[in-house]
């Protein structure tokens, strides 16, 4: 039976354990606790919603019992019906969350998009790619979570790092689909900032990192990490808040640096930073040459020069061309809304090993 007080007690105990500096020495444990925390977050949110529904239902029942105003009684009865439907849905969601097994296999991918050649237009193109992948994720019923981003004054992204993970849809292996997106994506279009109507060519790079399914190999020594906290900054450099919530982690042996600042708490940003670090360490370990992750990712995404491309999006001709398989598709607007399935299916068939 669901016990709200026990859940709240477990949540406080879990928070205490997560902020323990020694927990990062056992990534597998940290990952399991982080997953459990997310489930508890959702449980507590739904318990709070149920409490609010019960309060509203009691108020409406009081109006109905008073029997003083027929119009109010009618409205109260309608609202009680709506509230009962919400209550049933929330109860079902609670039951599902209570039964969720946090040890199930993780098939998530971490995507890094960075503006390449083209200045402000390249940053706007990076945002377009991000929105395309979020659209694709929604069509696949995947879950998305932004881990870090650095935006520009007019809404572009210098870089954005986000996680995609299985949801309720049939496709459970996110990485197997997204791995084909790695590389330089070139766009040819008239930027919104271009007054003369001239077509610009810009690029953005996409790196796709496989989030470790099992982090048992990443027994990270806390002594190998330099962790700093600072104020999170928004566009133009202004502080998002006065608390030091942004996290910067340096993995001393490899020199990897990860910064996260999107969340409002140190703990959430630390979780995101460690997730990115684990994915990059996994990439480094899986590299046959054992090069640094920077070199491994550079080999994947190139230098973002216009000639180094896996795909071109030509707006004047309404055409996407994938240069690896030398095939083109029309209807860019629909593709940029996330309708990538035909393209990825073709890549899977012709490039089965990625």
Question: For 292-351, what is the HEC assignment?
Answer: CHHHHHHHHHCCCCCCCCCEEEECCCCEEEECCCCEEEECHHHHCCCCCHHHHHHHHHHC
Residue 322 clears pLDDT 70, i.e. is over it: yes
Q: Are 122 and 204 in contact (CB under 8 A)?
A: yes
Global pTM reads 0.62
Q: Percent of the chain, pLDDT > 70?
A: 80
Q: What is the pLDDT of residue 30?
A: 77
Q: What is the pLDDT of residue 331?
A: 95
Q: What is the pLDDT of residue 58?
A: 93
In the chain, which segments carry CATH 3.30.70.1660?
109-214+303-350
Residue 100's pLDDT band, with cuts at 50, 70 and 90, is low
Mean pLDDT of 83-98: 84
Token code pair at residue 193: 């900032």
Q: What is the pLDDT of residue 302?
A: 57
Residue 93's pLDDT band, with cuts at 50, 70 and 90, is confident
Q: Cα dihedral angle (202, 207, 208, 214), rounded to 10 degrees?
A: -160
Token code pair at residue 5: 């007080």
Q: 279-313, pLDDT tens digit by residue?
A: 888 777 765 444 545 555 555 555 555 446 899 99
Residue 184's pLDDT band, with cuts at 50, 70 and 90, is very high
Residue 124's pLDDT band, with cuts at 50, 70 and 90, is very high
Q: What is the DSSP string of 48-108?
A: HHHHHHHHHHHHHHHHHHH---HHHHHHHHHHHHHHHHHHHHHHHHHHHHHT--TTSPP--
Residue 173 clears pLDDT 50, i.e. is over it: yes
Residue 3 clears pLDDT 70, i.e. is over it: yes
User: Cα dist. 208→275, 327, 337 in Å?
Assistant: 14, 22, 20
Q: What is the pLDDT of residue 215?
A: 47
Q: What is the pLDDT of residue 238?
A: 43
In the chain, which segments carry CATH 3.30.160.20?
219-295
Token code pair at residue 233: 């900054």
Classify 304 in phi/psi space as left (phi over 0), alpha (psi -120 to 50) or beta: left
Q: 63-88, pLDDT tens digit by residue?
A: 999 888 888 899 999 999 999 999 98
Q: What is the pLDDT of residue 277?
A: 85
Mean pLDDT of 169-184: 85
Q: What is the pLDDT of residue 236?
A: 39
- The CATH class for the domain spanning 219-295 reads alpha beta
Q: Which residues fall within 8 angstroms of residue 350, CB to CB, at 6 or more apart?
A: 324, 325
Residue 246 clears pLDDT 60, i.e. is over it: yes
* 109-214+303-350 belongs to CATH 3.30.420.40: no
Mean pLDDT of 103-125: 85
Residue 32 clears pLDDT 70, i.e. is over it: yes
* 4-98 belongs to CATH 1.20.58: yes
In the chain, which segments carry CATH 1.20.58?
4-98
Q: What is the pLDDT of residue 303?
A: 53
Mean pLDDT of 31-47: 82
Q: Are 123 and 200 in contact (CB under 8 A)?
A: no
Lowest-confidence segment of 61-75, 179-193, 204-218, 315-329 by average pLDDT: 204-218
- The number of angstroms, rounded, from the C-alpha of 47 to the middle of its chain's C-alpha atoms is 25
Secondary structure (3-state) at 10: helix
Higher pLDDT, 21 or 269: 269
Q: Are 161 and 110 in contact (CB under 8 A)?
A: yes
């Amino acid at each position: 039976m669901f016990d709200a007080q026990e859940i709240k007690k477990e949540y406080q105990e879990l928070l205490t354990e997560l902020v323990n500096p020694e927990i990062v020495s056992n990534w597998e444990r940290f990952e399991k606790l982080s997953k459990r925390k997310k489930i508890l977050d959702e449980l507590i949110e739904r318990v709070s919603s149920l409490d609010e529904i019960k309060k509203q239902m009691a108020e409406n029942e009081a109006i109905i019992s008073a029997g003083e105003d027929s119009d109010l009684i009618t409205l109260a009865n309608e609202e009680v019906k709506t509230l009962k439907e919400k209550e049933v849905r929330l109860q079902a969601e609670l039951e599902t969350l209570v039964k969720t097994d946090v040890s199930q296999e993780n098939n998530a991918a971490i995507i890094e998009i960075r503006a390449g050649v083209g200045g402000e237009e390249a940053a706007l193109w990076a945002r377009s790619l991000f929105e395309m992948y979020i659209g694709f994720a929604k069509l696949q019923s995947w879950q998305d979570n932004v881990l870090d981003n650095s935006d520009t004054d007019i809404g572009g992204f210098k870089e954005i790092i986000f996680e995609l993970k299985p949801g309720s849809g049939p496709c459970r292996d996110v990485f197997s689909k997204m791995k084909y997106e790695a590389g330089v994506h070139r766009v040819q279009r008239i930027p919104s900032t271009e007054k003369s109507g001239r077509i610009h060519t810009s690029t953005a790079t996409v790196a796709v990192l496989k989030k470790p399914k099992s982090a048992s190999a990443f027994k990270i020594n806390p002594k190998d990490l330099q962790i700093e906290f600072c104020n999170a900054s928004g566009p133009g450099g202004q502080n998002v808040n006065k608390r030091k919530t942004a996290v910067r982690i340096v993995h001393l042996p490899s020199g990897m640096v990860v910064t996260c600042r999107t969340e409002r708490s140190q703990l959430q940003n630390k979780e995101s930073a460690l997730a990115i670090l684990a994915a990059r360490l996994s990439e480094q370990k899986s590299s046959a040459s054992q090069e640094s992750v920077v070199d491994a990712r550079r080999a994947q995404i190139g230098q973002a020069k216009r000639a180094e491309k896996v795909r071109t999006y030509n707006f004047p001709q309404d055409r996407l061309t994938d240069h690896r398989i030398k095939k083109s598709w029309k209807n860019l607007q629909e593709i940029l809304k996330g309708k990538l399935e035909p393209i990825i299916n073709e890549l899977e068939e012709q490039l089965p090993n990625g």
